[in-house]
Structure 1
Amino acid sequence: MVIVLIILLVISILLFGASFFQRDKVKELEQEFEHLQLSAMQEIYKLKKKMRVLEEELLQNDVQLTKSPNTDDEIDAQVIKKVMAKYQNGMTLEAIAQSENLTMLEVRTIVKNNERVLT
């Protein structure tokens, strides 16, 4: 009877020790889930970035070329795009006028004539 108890005790100690060396399936699943989550977040970021680029291209195509009411020459299309981009980013009209070397009236006119792009 004592021998059976000793054998059972040895077997239980061996099984208990072996349980520490088994792979933890829960940890593997957690790591795989984290990897999938990071991959999905990266893909979403890339898609949002592409959408922003496409929206900017569409907005650039929609910008109208306008004339200043005080001058006979047309304001360059590049200047209009720059002014509208700065206006969309929240710059004040005064700051835009100073940075683009335009008058306040010209900046207001550009913004007013191209405001439909913002809505």
Structure 2
Amino acid sequence: MLTVIITLLIISTLLFISSFFASDRFKSIETQLEQLSLNQMQEAYQLKKKIKILEEELMPEELDFNFTSQPKSPLQSRVEALYENGKSISQISQITQLSAYDVEILINQLIKTR
């Protein structure tokens, strides 16, 4: 009976000592899980960063509606002068040989730019 107890004691100490040298399965799984979650967080951050850059590129920039006035053609200047002198659209169209519609468009553009 004594030999059985001594044998069991020796076996238990050997198993106890060998447990320190054996790799811990849970430790390796935990390390792999941590590494995986870190990689996932890095990828999510990079994707968010890329999406932000793409959104900035695709968003229309503030449009400048204050267009610089282009130099007027002699015809536009003539229509403007006649309009300011009090001529009617039909009179301006006869003088410039433009249609009344074209004269009206030129006058509307003149009014909008003021």
Query: TM-score range with shorter-chain normalisation?
Result: 0.5 to 0.7
TM-score by length of 1: 0.51
Determine the C-alpha separation between the residues in 2 that align with 1:48 and 1:18: 48
Q: Percent identity?
A: 46
Please list, as runs of the form range in 1=range in 2, the aligned pairs for 1:1-119 lying within 5 A after superposition: 1-59=1-59, 61-67=60-66, 72=68
Query: CA separation in 2, counterparts of 1:38 and 1:49?
Result: 17
TM-score (norm 2): 0.53
Aligned to 1:113: none
Name structure 1 gaps, 5 residues minimum: 75-119
Give the greater-gyration-radius structure (CA): 2
Q: Check 1:66–1:36 CA distance in 2 against 1; reply closer, same or farther (3 A cut).
A: same
Q: CA RMSD in A?
A: 2.2
Higher relative contact order, structure no. (Cα contacts within 8 Å, ≥ 6 residues apart): 1
User: For the residues of structure 2 that align with 1:2 and 1:23, how far apart are their CA atoms?
Assistant: 33
Q: 2:14 & 2:23 partners in 1: Cα distance?
A: 17
Q: How many residues align structurally? A: 70
Q: Deviations over 1:51-99 (max 9, x none)?
A: 111111112x45323207xxx569xxxxxxxxxxxxxxxxxxxxxxxxx
